[in-house]
Amino acid sequence: MAAAASSSSSSPQTDTCLNFITHLLKALKDAMMNVFFHDEIPEPLSPPIASSTRLKHQVFLSFRGEDVRLNFVAHLLKALKDTGMNVFFDEETLEKGEQLSQELSRAIAASNLSIIVLSVDYASSKSCLAELSDIMHRNDTQGHIVLPIFYHVDPSHVRNLGGSFKKSFNGHDSNRLPQVQRWKTAFAEVGKLKGWHIGGGKFDRPETEYIKDIVEYAIKKLMNRKFSSASAELIGIDDQKKKILSLIEQKDSRLIGLWGQGGIGKTTLSDVIFNEICHEFKGKCFLLNVREKFKTQGMESLRKDLLSKLLNQEIHVDTPSIGSTLIQEMLNNKRVLVVLDDVNDSEQIDCFGVKQFGDGSKIIVTSRDRQVLKNGGVDKIHKVKKINDNDSIQLFSTFAFKQLNPAAEFQDLSKKFVEYAQGSPLALRVLGSNLYKKSRKEWESEVDKLQEYGQPKISQILRISFDELDELEKNIFLDVTIFFKGSFREDVEKILSCYKGVVCGISNLIDKCLLDSRKSRINMHEMLEEMGKDIIREESIDPGKRSRLWSAKDVYQVLRYNKVSSCCISILFIFVSLCDFN
């Protein structure tokens, strides 16, 4: 958007805004994005069609005011250009009326992404509002990507047309412009989008850091432009998505397994991939939560649902295997895409007749148990990894603040929750949603609670894996939780040799993603540790009747008042053995 010239001298806020824009522009360029800069395009302008075709992945930068242009926007523009992106940055055309110029409309149409810097004076410009209205229309009808930056303004004031924006729109209303209602609607809609809130207070981050985040995020959005809108809104799965898609392209990868602990994002990842490639197959079916549906519906009903969807007609199979020659031939002639989500038994894979699917078919199976995937005959297994710190803070902020960065006064506490989640998308979503619109005092209280008790909703999901363990595996898991986390695997196997089959039991727990073995040491996710402690607490209110003790206070009370049960004595003996062993 053209910066409206201002005859008045710049204010401190103006200088800050100008500085921010300069840094943001630099960061975008550093990311090697192609940015179309209006004053660099030779006149006359190339024909609209040729220009639109030539400029791919162009960023349209919308802002208002000389103060923003010379500071924040200038830095942002430079950062965008340094990445090699084409960025349309209109600094010359100063619109007098409320109609959007054809040149600007063509620039928006030629762009895949618009960055809108919403500063205090943005809504005072009719041309800016006309521009924003055009951008939001393309967002609704053409999937145009919009990234708002709430620069020194409250996002709720944008959504609700409050603060300084109320005065601006009242001024437009007084002129009785027919476009005003359309502008209001578009302005409120952009306020609902996830973006960056740059408060500018003393507790806020440097603007250079925001610019870096904005550029990196813009690159991700542009690189994934070909993917579906569902995946475009997801955070932290781009790299893994590409790996899975590359596996799918391999001819020898017919049956692909996604393996990982509960809440790590297996279902989300498979859903994104399914929606991306399902149009390439004659038949498709996403069978959600196979584990639970096997219990409630039974094998026959579930298989009927799957085969009926794949063959587009009602299918009945009453035998353990797909015995009908006709059905087998029908399946053999179809190239299908199937996702079997949350499988916990290899027989659940076999019963669906995946071997009968036609050439070129792809079957994705998600499971918490690696051995289930091996027994089910998968060709490739991909371990779903936790998301990195930068994506974690964005995902957490999306639920806790409805924007892509934490509010300045909550940054320190946000880091604590992100550290607790350790890259688990489930934990980040649950924790963020639970903290939305709560006070800092409530946040601090939640931190203290997590350190002692964990989060019930997360523990409930993780508990499913524990409940399916046999007695040996449960005991080993709880022992590691209390006594052996971080210990060498060889030492743990020797100390727990009182359990017959301990070596196999530890291997099974690793396959089920309840334990992790790296550099010869046994470890587990902190949320799994908290779940294990919750399980032991549930054994009894009286610590002396629990199977394991870890609190020094509880151990002291139990020993002093002679409240040790026979079960607890055996565990204390193991603990003493561990001390002697070391």
Residue pair 109/139 in contact (Cβ under 8 Å)? The answer is no
Pick from 263, 201, 115, 235: which is nearest to 411 by CA?
Answer: 201
CATH number at residue 378: 3.40.50.300
481 Cβ contact list (under 8 Å, min separation 6) = 524, 528, 529, 532, 533, 536, 548
Q: Are 339 and 274 in contact (CB under 8 A)?
A: yes
Q: Does 103 share its domain with 219?
A: yes
How many domains does the structure of the chain reveal? 4
Helix or strand (DSSP H, E) at 340: strand 336-340
Please, what's the b/e burial string for 169-198 (b: 16 or more CB within 10 A of its CB; e: otherwise)? beebeeeeeebbeebbebbebbbebbbbbb
Euclidean distance between CA atoms 179 and 98, whole angstroms: 8
pLDDT of residue 232: 38
Per the domain annotation, does 25 fall within a domain? no
Token pair of 254, please?
A: 């017919």
Q: List the CATH number of the domain containing 550.
A: 1.10.10
Same domain, 300 and 371: yes
Same domain assignment for residues 235 and 220 = no
Which residue, among 166, 156, 65, has the nearest Cα to 119 in the 3D structure? Answer: 65
CATH number, domain with residue 133:
3.40.50.10140
- Asked if 566 and 512 touch (Cβ cutoff 8 Å), the reply is no
Indicate if 374 and 507 belong to the same structural domain.
Answer: no
Structural domain ending residue among the three candidates 182, 199, 225: 225
Same domain, 214 and 75: yes
- Contact at 8 Å (CB) between 402 and 435? no
Q: Are residues 163 and 287 in the same domain?
A: no
- Which pair of structure tokens corresponds to residue 21? 């824009």
Do 338 and 413 sit in the same domain of this protein? no
Query: Is 432 inside a domain boundary?
Result: yes
CB 284 within 8 A of CB 338: yes
Containing domain of residue 395, as a range?
389-452
3-state secondary structure at position 122: helix
Cβ-based neighbour number of residue 500 at 10 Å: 8
Residues 182 and 298 occupy one common structural domain: no
Gyration radius from the chain CA atoms: 29
pLDDT confidence of residue 231: 39
How many of the other CB atoms lie within 10 Å of CB of 97?
10
Q: Is 92 a catalytic residue?
A: no
Asked whether residue 348 is assigned to any structural domain, the reply reads: yes
Per-residue pLDDT of the chain (582 residues; tens, 9 = 90+): 444 333 344 555 556 666 676 677 667 656 545 454 443 333 333 333 333 334 445 799 999 877 788 889 999 999 998 888 888 876 544 444 456 777 788 888 888 899 999 999 999 988 899 999 999 998 888 888 999 999 999 999 999 999 989 998 988 877 667 788 899 999 999 999 999 999 888 788 899 999 999 998 888 888 766 444 433 356 888 889 989 999 999 988 999 999 999 889 999 999 999 988 988 898 899 999 999 998 888 888 888 888 888 888 877 766 666 766 777 788 888 899 999 999 999 988 988 888 888 899 999 999 999 999 999 999 999 999 999 998 999 999 999 998 889 988 999 999 999 998 889 998 898 899 989 999 999 999 998 888 777 778 888 888 888 998 999 999 999 999 998 999 999 999 999 988 899 999 999 999 998 998 888 899 988 888 888 988 998 888 888 888 888 888 887 877 777 665 555 544 544 454 545 444
Neighbours of 42 (CB within 10 A): 6
Q: Are residues 297 and 400 in the same domain?
A: no
Kindly state whether residues 433 and 347 are assigned to the same domain: no
Place of tokens 């087998």: 328
Give the three-class secondary structure for 523.
strand
Q: What pTM, to 2 d.p., does this model score?
A: 0.71
Residue 41 lies in a domain: no
The verdict on 165 and 207 lying in the same domain is yes
Backbone φ and ψ for 434, nearest 5 degrees, come out as -70, -20
Domain assignment present for 140: yes
Question: Are residues 327 and 351 part of one domain?
Answer: yes
Find the catalytic residue in 131, 216, 276, 473.
Answer: 131
Whether residue 211 is contained in a domain is answered as yes
Close Cβ partners of 370 (under 8 Å, ≥ 6 residues apart):
257, 259, 381, 511, 512, 513
- The DSSP bridge partners found for residue 58 are 111
